[in-house]
Structure 1
Amino acid sequence: MTNMEEITWEQQRQFWENETKAFEVFLIEEGKLKEDTVKKHVFRMDFVMTEYFVRYEISYADVTGETIVDFVGRFLISHVLTTKESDIGAYLTSFKKWIQFLQTTSKISKEQYTSMIEVCKYKSYFDERFDEYMHADNDYALERWLNSNDIEYHIEQQTPPDKRKLKPLVVDTKLQQLWMDGRTAVPQIVSEFKAFLEAVRKGSNVKLSAARKHLPRKFWHELDEQLNMKLIRKPTLNQDQEPVFQFFFYVAIVLGMTVEGIQLEMNEKQVDSYLALSEQQQATILLDALWNRVNWGILQEVNEGGRPEDIQAWRRAIASVLASWPVKREHIVDQEWKKHRQSGILLDTGVDVFLHAVATVLVRFGLITATYPPESEMKYGSMRQPALMAVQESGNRVFRYFVNEAAYVLNSAPVAVAAEAKIGRNDPCSCGSGKKYKKCCL
């Protein structure tokens, strides 16, 4: 039985009850565990199979390490009110015995086995998930928690930079098609970032500061002068005081092109792969990374404070606001942001990292234009945000895509849904997570 979506929930439950009994027989015949221990393993896996698997219509063909990540890292913690921290390790132990059963009885492939066993090694990750959930004291914290169940990132962070497995550069072709429509010029940021990579490759002034691990002022001053970027507002400007510099530095790390050490080092193979792409593809990779992969909080000045992670959790809402603006019409930013905060569309926070950091980078992409107050009026970095802002035609297309990205990814055009319309179990969830409704908010 491979396709659970073709049978009733009652039939699914009966199937998994039979599998639970088979698992129990396996443990008893193995003869390695006490009777009480066998009962505990069977009890836990019975809950997994007859509740979680049935709820999300999971079959043996669907089971991977990601299944365990979702169950232990989300469902067990947030859906089961009686879950204690000690249950995390207990369930992972039961999963290991169950995986052994599946391998012995040839119910899963070698690839599935490897994926599942690997996930069970990282108990510390799930313990952190439990602790974060218990300390989530508002809706924003809960949303961040729900959207951050990424064990691959955790594993990557535990691995020394020089031993990390590089992910191939992937171009979001739909984003490229909507953005680069034949009339839209390649944005200036593409050539600027290429010049940044070339400057790092030369190896001059690339020793990182001891405290912040940033490139020295001299590096950025030389790059700014070479490209006539005019981003150096004062002689003492540091890397973290200019969002464009921060973006160049961190997007290169996120995409695996550079590695932090005593100095910033190049990953020549990854850089060559990037430079081999067309300029349109390079632009798409950079924009996709800005919106979906780079932590917006690191684009702002180090000591700025606030809760920038809240803003990133609401990036879809920000895109919806920008997509609603008439093309090329200037808006008074304070008025617009205040209006949408009061309506609940945007998050009300003291430090708006989007306006004073991300917007600056989007200008270099040609998606928006921005007019800033005079330098004399901006005493602190957080005050450096647009007074007026307008969305360009290409920006309108891009922001509409970011609003409906999940629908595009599933190759279905965004559809207006009536207020009382029922969402299908396999439809994209209306919360914008990109997951199927049955695996998200059902």
Structure 2
Amino acid sequence: MGFAMTRKYFGTDGIRGATNLHPMTAQMAMKVGMAAGAHFRRGDHRHRVVIGKDTRLSGYMLENALVAGFTSMGMDVTLVGPMPTPAVALLTQSMRADLGVMISASHNPFADNGIKLFGPDGYKLSDADELAIEALIDAEPVLSAAADIGRARRVEDARGRYIHAAKMTFPADLTLEGLKIVVDCANGAAYQVAPTALWELGAEVIPLGVSPNGKNINDLCGSTAPQAMCETVVAHGAHIGIALDGDADRLIVADETGRVIDGDQLMALIAEGWSKSGRLGKAALVATVMSNLGLERHLGALGVELIRTKVGDRYVLEAMRAGGHKVGGEQSGHIILSDYATTGDGLVAALQVLAELVRAGAPASQVLHRFDPVPQLLKNVRFAGGKPLEADSVKAVIADAEAELNGTGRLVIRPSGTEPVIRVMAEGDDARQVETLVDRICDAVKAAAG
């Protein structure tokens, strides 16, 4: 990750931090608007930027600051209000905009916020674009002449456009009639669009997390806290539960017994269904090094390859675009279906899961449980400094562990991208062996870090 470290403001997913502390201030948002405006001015057409947000209190402040920045550079602004991240990517494309902006800190608590940028093709910006914008943030902007300053307007029917697009991804010969679905919108960006889309497709909808107040986003709800969804599914005798995160680009599901189904099972379900119907294209699924070995074996038995990337949906997307693959994602529920979207879309992924459920005509507990996960254990080791993974003592212990697993398991040992932590993960068929190996490697890392 040496390259990412050279970025001053942008992390793995845009700029993110605690509101009203650098860099997540109104001044900074205005500077980002100016810098991104300058970077994306190309030719002499009227330039346009689409701005969406989630339901955080600080969204008002950052939205206005971005509008000031963009309009001062001669860009016209189209405001779509609270909308999922994938909806902003979609509207950026359909409005022929030069740039899209999403104001969100995804699954973080309300006090954080973030700014994500999308290019005119609806894809998140490249590292090169982000570095160029960073250089412009710290430079003096070249402002527009008075007569060339941009205008801002709100689009009233943006939600309807996204609902229509999402519904179009659901097979035309199917309906959700007869299904009772709990949908938890995390008091976030999808609080209106997700329940509406499901209801319009015929489902009986039990909504949770649909009364945002600016401070309750992701608070004991949504994909990072699925407990409420699970309990509601059981209490109402629902067929399935769907939980989205604050900006609705990830999905976690519960079956009718209230058991949580992770992204690995959902990706297996979609890849398997698409493989059977000839929609998968190349027989492959793209996931990260964290996806379970059970997923890899299950797909392998079906003749579908699992291609692994570094952790982060941007790396999954890179591999998908490079190889022309249609399904990819993360265990955490970030699922990317390149036929439909340029980024993860929790609602669209949910509709594919629901399509498989409807086709199977069996309970969710049977349909969604595609494979038995192999025992997997992840432990974090905090360290003060240095590079413990480069110590010979640590390398020796890791090599011994690899030899002991002898091809029947996997080790993933990596530094966190966001904090001074080494993540040590092992998986294999013997849970006790997995625990022993993880502890042994953690001890070696601690000793090497001193």
TM-score by length of 1: 0.25
Richer in strand (by share): 2
Richer in helix (by share): 1
